[in-house]
Protein backbone atom coordinates (compact mmCIF):
# COMPACT_ATOMS: atom_id res chain seq x y z
CA UNK A 1 0.00 0.00 0.00
CA UNK A 2 1.26 3.43 -0.89
CA UNK A 3 2.01 5.89 1.86
CA UNK A 4 -0.78 8.21 0.69
CA UNK A 5 -3.35 5.41 0.83
CA UNK A 6 -2.08 4.30 4.26
CA UNK A 7 -2.50 7.80 5.66
CA UNK A 8 -6.15 7.84 4.51
CA UNK A 9 -6.91 5.05 6.94
CA UNK A 10 -6.33 7.21 10.03
CA UNK A 11 -6.21 10.85 8.86
CA UNK A 12 -9.68 12.56 8.85
CA UNK A 13 -11.02 13.40 5.39
CA UNK A 14 -11.07 16.97 4.16
CA UNK A 15 -14.14 19.11 4.80
CA UNK A 16 -15.08 18.89 1.11
CA UNK A 17 -14.81 15.07 1.07
CA UNK A 18 -16.76 14.86 4.36
CA UNK A 19 -19.50 17.09 2.89
CA UNK A 20 -19.80 14.90 -0.22
CA UNK A 21 -19.94 11.80 1.97
CA UNK A 22 -22.76 13.22 4.06
CA UNK A 23 -24.73 14.27 0.99
CA UNK A 24 -24.40 10.77 -0.40
CA UNK A 25 -25.48 9.20 2.90
CA UNK A 26 -29.12 10.18 2.77
CA UNK A 27 -31.56 12.18 4.87
CA UNK A 28 -30.21 11.15 8.30
CA UNK A 29 -26.82 12.42 7.41
CA UNK A 30 -28.38 15.58 6.00
CA UNK A 31 -29.89 16.28 9.45
CA UNK A 32 -26.49 15.83 11.05
CA UNK A 33 -24.99 18.18 8.51
CA UNK A 34 -27.64 20.77 9.26
CA UNK A 35 -26.86 20.54 12.96
CA UNK A 36 -23.15 20.90 12.29
CA UNK A 37 -23.76 23.93 10.11
CA UNK A 38 -25.92 25.45 12.88
CA UNK A 39 -23.16 24.86 15.43
CA UNK A 40 -20.64 26.30 13.00
CA UNK A 41 -22.74 29.44 12.65
CA UNK A 42 -22.95 29.84 16.46
CA UNK A 43 -19.29 29.11 17.04
CA UNK A 44 -18.05 32.73 16.87
CA UNK A 45 -20.59 33.78 19.50
CA UNK A 46 -19.69 30.79 21.71
CA UNK A 47 -15.99 31.61 21.41
CA UNK A 48 -16.69 35.23 22.32
CA UNK A 49 -18.62 34.11 25.42
CA UNK A 50 -15.78 31.78 26.42
CA UNK A 51 -13.31 34.62 26.00
CA UNK A 52 -15.44 36.86 28.22
CA UNK A 53 -15.73 34.15 30.87
CA UNK A 54 -11.99 33.55 30.71
CA UNK A 55 -11.34 37.27 31.17
CA UNK A 56 -13.72 37.42 34.14
CA UNK A 57 -12.04 34.40 35.75
CA UNK A 58 -8.66 36.08 35.34
CA UNK A 59 -10.01 39.26 36.96
CA UNK A 60 -11.57 37.26 39.81
CA UNK A 61 -8.30 35.46 40.43
CA UNK A 62 -6.44 38.75 40.53
CA UNK A 63 -9.04 40.10 42.97
CA UNK A 64 -8.64 37.03 45.19
CA UNK A 65 -4.90 37.55 45.20
CA UNK A 66 -5.40 41.17 46.18
CA UNK A 67 -7.96 40.36 48.86
CA UNK A 68 -5.65 37.74 50.34
CA UNK A 69 -3.72 40.73 51.66
CA UNK A 70 -6.83 41.77 53.59
CA UNK A 71 -7.63 38.63 55.52
CA UNK A 72 -9.72 39.20 58.63
CA UNK A 73 -7.78 37.94 61.62
CA UNK A 74 -9.79 35.35 63.50
CA UNK A 75 -11.37 37.03 66.50
CA UNK A 76 -12.01 40.44 64.90
CA UNK A 77 -15.67 39.76 64.12
CA UNK A 78 -16.96 41.33 67.32
CA UNK A 79 -15.26 44.61 66.39
CA UNK A 80 -18.26 45.28 64.18
CA UNK A 81 -20.81 45.58 66.92
CA UNK A 82 -22.96 48.34 65.47
CA UNK A 83 -23.22 50.27 68.74
CA UNK A 84 -19.45 50.43 69.12
CA UNK A 85 -17.95 50.62 65.67
CA UNK A 86 -20.83 52.61 64.23
CA UNK A 87 -20.52 55.17 66.99
CA UNK A 88 -16.84 55.71 66.24
CA UNK A 89 -17.55 56.06 62.53
CA UNK A 90 -20.16 58.70 63.25
CA UNK A 91 -17.85 60.55 65.62
CA UNK A 92 -14.98 60.91 63.15
CA UNK A 93 -17.37 62.25 60.51
CA UNK A 94 -19.12 64.85 62.68
CA UNK A 95 -18.31 68.52 62.26
CA UNK A 96 -17.10 68.76 65.88
CA UNK A 97 -14.56 65.94 65.43
CA UNK A 98 -11.60 68.34 65.32
CA UNK A 99 -12.66 69.95 68.61
CA UNK A 100 -13.12 66.55 70.29
CA UNK A 101 -9.78 65.31 69.01
CA UNK A 102 -7.83 68.38 70.16
CA UNK A 103 -9.34 68.16 73.65
CA UNK A 104 -8.49 64.46 73.84
CA UNK A 105 -4.82 64.79 72.90
CA UNK A 106 -4.22 68.01 74.80
CA UNK A 107 -1.56 67.36 77.45
CA UNK A 108 -0.93 63.75 76.46
CA UNK A 109 2.59 62.41 76.11
CA UNK A 110 3.94 61.54 72.66
CA UNK A 111 3.27 57.81 72.96
CA UNK A 112 -0.34 58.40 73.99
CA UNK A 113 -0.89 60.73 71.05
CA UNK A 114 0.58 58.14 68.69
CA UNK A 115 -1.71 55.48 70.17
CA UNK A 116 -4.75 57.75 69.78
CA UNK A 117 -3.85 58.70 66.21
CA UNK A 118 -3.31 55.07 65.28
CA UNK A 119 -6.72 54.01 66.59
CA UNK A 120 -8.53 56.87 64.84
CA UNK A 121 -6.69 56.43 61.53
CA UNK A 122 -7.54 52.73 61.52
CA UNK A 123 -11.17 53.59 62.19
CA UNK A 124 -11.08 55.95 59.22
CA UNK A 125 -9.46 53.27 57.05
CA UNK A 126 -12.20 50.78 57.87
CA UNK A 127 -14.82 53.45 57.26
CA UNK A 128 -13.35 54.10 53.81
CA UNK A 129 -13.48 50.39 52.95
CA UNK A 130 -17.13 50.18 54.09
CA UNK A 131 -17.19 46.39 53.70
CA UNK A 132 -16.95 45.11 57.28
CA UNK A 133 -13.38 43.86 56.96
CA UNK A 134 -10.38 44.75 59.10
CA UNK A 135 -7.43 44.29 56.75
CA UNK A 136 -4.31 42.79 58.24
CA UNK A 137 -2.22 45.48 56.60
CA UNK A 138 -3.62 47.89 59.19
CA UNK A 139 -1.36 46.18 61.71
CA UNK A 140 2.36 46.56 62.16
CA UNK A 141 4.66 43.59 61.81
CA UNK A 142 5.18 43.65 65.57
CA UNK A 143 1.42 43.37 66.09
CA UNK A 144 1.15 40.50 63.63
CA UNK A 145 4.00 38.75 65.43
CA UNK A 146 2.12 39.22 68.70
CA UNK A 147 -1.01 37.71 67.15
CA UNK A 148 1.04 34.67 66.20
CA UNK A 149 2.50 34.53 69.71
CA UNK A 150 -1.02 34.45 71.16
CA UNK A 151 -2.10 31.77 68.73
CA UNK A 152 0.98 29.57 68.87
CA UNK A 153 2.30 30.07 72.40
CA UNK A 154 0.01 31.91 74.79
CA UNK A 155 -3.32 30.13 74.32
CA UNK A 156 -1.74 26.66 73.87
CA UNK A 157 0.01 27.15 77.23
CA UNK A 158 -3.35 27.25 79.04
CA UNK A 159 -3.81 23.89 80.71
CA UNK A 160 -7.17 22.25 81.32
CA UNK A 161 -7.12 20.41 84.66
CA UNK A 162 -10.85 19.66 84.71
CA UNK A 163 -14.10 21.14 83.43
CA UNK A 164 -13.94 23.57 86.34
CA UNK A 165 -10.23 24.33 86.50
CA UNK A 166 -7.95 25.95 83.91
CA UNK A 167 -4.40 27.04 84.61
CA UNK A 168 -2.04 29.61 83.12
CA UNK A 169 1.27 29.85 84.98
CA UNK A 170 0.33 30.27 88.65
CA UNK A 171 -3.19 31.51 87.91
CA UNK A 172 -6.31 29.32 88.06
CA UNK A 173 -9.77 30.07 86.66
CA UNK A 174 -13.00 28.04 86.71
CA UNK A 175 -13.49 28.71 82.97
CA UNK A 176 -11.01 29.21 80.17
CA UNK A 177 -11.07 33.02 80.10
CA UNK A 178 -7.44 34.12 80.28
CA UNK A 179 -7.64 37.50 78.58
CA UNK A 180 -4.22 38.74 77.36
CA UNK A 181 -5.03 42.29 78.49
CA UNK A 182 -5.32 40.94 82.04
CA UNK A 183 -2.64 38.27 82.32
CA UNK A 184 -0.04 39.72 79.96
CA UNK A 185 -0.72 43.45 80.04
CA UNK A 186 -1.76 43.49 83.73
CA UNK A 187 -4.51 46.03 83.04
CA UNK A 188 -1.91 48.62 82.06
CA UNK A 189 -0.30 48.66 85.51
CA UNK A 190 3.16 48.68 83.97
CA UNK A 191 2.32 52.00 82.29
CA UNK A 192 1.75 53.76 85.63
CA UNK A 193 4.17 56.44 86.80
CA UNK A 194 2.95 56.01 90.39
CA UNK A 195 5.32 53.75 92.37
CA UNK A 196 3.66 50.46 93.29
CA UNK A 197 4.82 50.98 96.88
CA UNK A 198 2.34 53.86 97.22
CA UNK A 199 -0.53 51.39 96.84
CA UNK A 200 0.56 48.95 99.55
CA UNK A 201 -1.39 50.61 102.35
CA UNK A 202 -4.44 51.59 100.34
CA UNK A 203 -7.62 49.90 99.21
CA UNK A 204 -8.21 49.00 95.56
CA UNK A 205 -11.56 49.18 93.75
CA UNK A 206 -12.28 46.70 90.95
CA UNK A 207 -15.42 48.03 89.21
CA UNK A 208 -16.52 45.30 86.83
CA UNK A 209 -14.99 42.23 88.45
CA UNK A 210 -16.36 39.64 85.99
CA UNK A 211 -15.04 36.21 87.19
CA UNK A 212 -12.34 37.56 89.48
CA UNK A 213 -9.50 37.51 86.96
CA UNK A 214 -8.63 41.14 87.72
CA UNK A 215 -8.42 40.38 91.43
CA UNK A 216 -5.55 37.97 90.75
CA UNK A 217 -3.57 40.85 89.26
CA UNK A 218 -4.61 43.53 91.75
CA UNK A 219 -4.48 41.68 95.08
CA UNK A 220 -0.65 41.45 95.30
CA UNK A 221 -0.42 45.26 95.05
CA UNK A 222 -1.87 45.98 98.50
CA UNK A 223 -1.71 44.79 102.09
CA UNK A 224 -5.27 46.01 102.49
CA UNK A 225 -8.26 44.83 100.42
CA UNK A 226 -9.38 44.66 96.82
CA UNK A 227 -13.11 45.44 96.66
CA UNK A 228 -14.48 43.83 93.52
CA UNK A 229 -18.00 44.51 92.24
CA UNK A 230 -19.85 42.12 89.91
CA UNK A 231 -23.65 42.27 89.65
CA UNK A 232 -24.37 39.21 87.45
CA UNK A 233 -25.06 36.04 89.47
CA UNK A 234 -23.26 33.57 87.21
CA UNK A 235 -20.17 35.76 87.00
CA UNK A 236 -20.25 36.43 90.73
CA UNK A 237 -20.37 32.70 91.51
CA UNK A 238 -17.40 32.12 89.19
CA UNK A 239 -15.59 34.98 90.90
CA UNK A 240 -15.95 33.32 94.28
CA UNK A 241 -14.55 30.11 92.80
CA UNK A 242 -11.59 32.04 91.40
CA UNK A 243 -10.89 33.63 94.77
CA UNK A 244 -10.98 30.24 96.52
CA UNK A 245 -8.94 28.39 93.87
CA UNK A 246 -6.13 30.97 94.10
CA UNK A 247 -6.29 31.31 97.89
CA UNK A 248 -6.72 35.09 97.71
CA UNK A 249 -7.07 36.46 101.25
CA UNK A 250 -7.64 40.17 100.66
CA UNK A 251 -10.57 40.17 98.22
CA UNK A 252 -13.99 41.48 99.21
CA UNK A 253 -16.60 40.38 96.65
CA UNK A 254 -19.76 42.44 96.28
CA UNK A 255 -22.70 41.29 94.15
CA UNK A 256 -23.79 44.73 93.04
CA UNK A 257 -23.06 47.35 90.41
CA UNK A 258 -21.43 50.73 90.89
CA UNK A 259 -23.19 53.65 89.23
CA UNK A 260 -24.52 57.16 89.56
CA UNK A 261 -27.17 56.47 92.21
CA UNK A 262 -28.71 53.96 94.58
CA UNK A 263 -31.27 52.03 92.55
CA UNK A 264 -32.08 48.74 90.84
CA UNK A 265 -31.27 48.19 87.17
CA UNK A 266 -32.06 45.45 84.69
CA UNK A 267 -28.88 44.00 83.20
CA UNK A 268 -28.64 42.03 79.98
CA UNK A 269 -26.80 38.74 80.47
CA UNK A 270 -23.99 38.32 77.93
CA UNK A 271 -21.01 36.79 79.73
CA UNK A 272 -18.12 39.23 80.02
CA UNK A 273 -20.16 41.79 78.04
CA UNK A 274 -23.19 41.86 80.35
CA UNK A 275 -24.46 45.42 80.65
CA UNK A 276 -27.39 47.68 81.44
CA UNK A 277 -28.00 48.78 77.86
CA UNK A 278 -30.75 47.34 75.68
CA UNK A 279 -29.84 44.65 73.18
CA UNK A 280 -31.05 41.19 72.17
CA UNK A 281 -29.62 39.36 75.16
CA UNK A 282 -31.13 35.97 75.88
CA UNK A 283 -31.69 36.71 79.57
CA UNK A 284 -31.97 39.60 82.02
CA UNK A 285 -31.29 40.10 85.69
CA UNK A 286 -32.30 42.82 88.13
CA UNK A 287 -29.30 44.01 90.13
CA UNK A 288 -28.75 46.51 92.95
CA UNK A 289 -26.69 49.60 92.21
CA UNK A 290 -24.85 51.85 94.64
CA UNK A 291 -22.42 54.72 94.27
CA UNK A 292 -18.75 54.32 95.05
CA UNK A 293 -18.93 57.44 97.22
CA UNK A 294 -21.57 55.87 99.48
CA UNK A 295 -19.69 52.57 99.64
CA UNK A 296 -16.39 54.28 100.51
CA UNK A 297 -18.02 56.30 103.28
CA UNK A 298 -19.84 53.27 104.69
CA UNK A 299 -16.69 51.14 104.85
CA UNK A 300 -14.21 53.96 105.57
CA UNK A 301 -11.94 53.13 102.65
CA UNK A 302 -8.65 54.77 101.72
CA UNK A 303 -8.63 54.25 97.97
CA UNK A 304 -5.34 54.14 96.07
CA UNK A 305 -6.41 52.69 92.72
CA UNK A 306 -9.66 52.22 90.80
CA UNK A 307 -9.93 49.93 87.78
CA UNK A 308 -13.14 50.44 85.78
CA UNK A 309 -14.47 48.24 82.97
CA UNK A 310 -18.26 48.59 82.92
CA UNK A 311 -19.22 47.94 79.30
CA UNK A 312 -20.10 51.55 78.55
CA UNK A 313 -21.40 52.66 81.97
CA UNK A 314 -18.16 54.43 82.89
CA UNK A 315 -19.65 57.93 82.82
CA UNK A 316 -22.47 56.90 85.15
CA UNK A 317 -19.86 55.37 87.46
CA UNK A 318 -17.92 58.66 87.57
CA UNK A 319 -21.05 60.52 88.66
CA UNK A 320 -21.23 58.32 91.75
CA UNK A 321 -17.47 58.37 92.40
CA UNK A 322 -16.75 62.09 92.05
CA UNK A 323 -16.26 62.83 95.75
CA UNK A 324 -13.93 59.87 96.26
CA UNK A 325 -11.88 60.80 93.21
CA UNK A 326 -11.65 64.49 94.08
CA UNK A 327 -10.71 63.95 97.72
CA UNK A 328 -8.52 60.82 97.57
CA UNK A 329 -7.17 61.21 94.02
CA UNK A 330 -6.53 57.51 93.37
CA UNK A 331 -4.88 56.16 90.22
CA UNK A 332 -7.60 55.52 87.62
CA UNK A 333 -7.54 52.78 85.00
CA UNK A 334 -10.62 53.60 82.92
CA UNK A 335 -11.83 51.65 79.89
CA UNK A 336 -12.70 54.14 77.13
CA UNK A 337 -13.32 51.81 74.18
CA UNK A 338 -16.95 50.77 74.66
CA UNK A 339 -18.33 53.78 72.83
CA UNK A 340 -17.09 56.91 71.10
CA UNK A 341 -18.54 59.21 73.77
CA UNK A 342 -16.36 57.58 76.43
CA UNK A 343 -13.33 57.61 74.14
CA UNK A 344 -13.52 61.37 73.59
CA UNK A 345 -15.15 62.62 76.82
CA UNK A 346 -14.00 60.68 79.90
CA UNK A 347 -10.73 62.63 79.97
CA UNK A 348 -12.60 65.92 79.55
CA UNK A 349 -14.92 65.07 82.46
CA UNK A 350 -12.00 64.38 84.78
CA UNK A 351 -10.17 67.52 83.66
CA UNK A 352 -13.22 69.60 84.52
CA UNK A 353 -12.91 68.47 88.15
CA UNK A 354 -9.47 70.13 88.46
CA UNK A 355 -7.95 67.30 90.49
CA UNK A 356 -4.49 67.71 88.99
CA UNK A 357 -4.59 64.46 87.05
CA UNK A 358 -2.16 63.75 84.23
CA UNK A 359 -3.24 61.30 81.57
CA UNK A 360 -2.03 58.52 79.34
CA UNK A 361 -3.90 56.52 76.71
CA UNK A 362 -2.78 52.92 76.52
CA UNK A 363 -3.89 50.21 74.11
CA UNK A 364 -4.15 46.89 75.96
CA UNK A 365 -2.89 43.66 74.44
CA UNK A 366 -5.36 41.65 72.39
CA UNK A 367 -6.29 40.83 68.78
CA UNK A 368 -7.97 44.15 68.01
CA UNK A 369 -6.98 47.71 67.22
CA UNK A 370 -9.20 49.63 69.64
CA UNK A 371 -10.63 47.22 72.22
CA UNK A 372 -9.10 47.30 75.72
CA UNK A 373 -8.01 50.93 75.33
CA UNK A 374 -7.39 52.56 78.71
CA UNK A 375 -7.29 56.09 80.02
CA UNK A 376 -4.74 56.11 82.84
CA UNK A 377 -5.09 59.06 85.22
CA UNK A 378 -2.55 59.87 87.94
CA UNK A 379 -1.67 62.75 90.20
CA UNK A 380 2.13 62.75 90.00
| β 159-162/165-168 pair status | antiparallel
Q: Measure the CA–CA gap between 36 and 114, rounded to whole angstroms.
A: 72
| Integer Cα distance of 227 and 205 in angstroms | 5
pTM of this prediction exceeds 0.85 = no
Q: What does the pLDDT profile of the chain (380 residues) look like in tens digits? A: 544 454 344 444 554 554 555 455 555 566 666 766 776 777 777 777 777 766 666 665 455 444 433 333 333 443 444 445 557 777 777 888 899 999 999 999 999 999 999 988 888 877 776 655 556 577 888 888 898 999 999 999 999 999 999 999 999 999 999 999 999 999 999 999 999 999 999 999 999 999 999 999 999 999 999 999 998 899 999 999 999 999 999 999 999 999 999 988 776 655 445 455 545 556 677 888 999 999 999 999 999 999 999 888 899 999 999 999 999 999 999 999 888 899 999 999 999 999 999 999 999 888 788 889 999 999 98
Would you state the pLDDT for residue 123?
81
Domains of the chain: 3-56 (no CATH), 77-378 (3.40.50.150)
Residue 276: closest CA among 291, 258, 293, 294: 258
Output the pLDDT for position 67: 40
Res 260: pLDDT: 93
Instruction: Say if CB 123 and CB 88 are below 8 A apart.
Output: yes
What does the pLDDT read at residue 199? Answer: 97
The rounded distance, in Å, linking the Cα atoms of 146 and 141 is 9
Helix 97-105 crosses helix 340-352 at what angle (to 10 degrees)? 50
Amino acid sequence: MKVKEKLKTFVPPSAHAFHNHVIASGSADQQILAQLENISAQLPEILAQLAAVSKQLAENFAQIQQESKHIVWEGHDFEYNALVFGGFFEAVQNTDFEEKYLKLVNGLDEESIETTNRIISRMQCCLARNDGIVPLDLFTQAEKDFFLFLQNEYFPSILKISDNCYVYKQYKLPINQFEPCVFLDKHGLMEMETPIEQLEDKDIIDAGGFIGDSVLILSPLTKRNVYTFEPISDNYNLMQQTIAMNNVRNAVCEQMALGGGNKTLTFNIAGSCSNQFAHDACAHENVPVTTLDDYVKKHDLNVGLIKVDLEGAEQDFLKGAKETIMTQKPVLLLSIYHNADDFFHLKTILESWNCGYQFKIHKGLDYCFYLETLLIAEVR
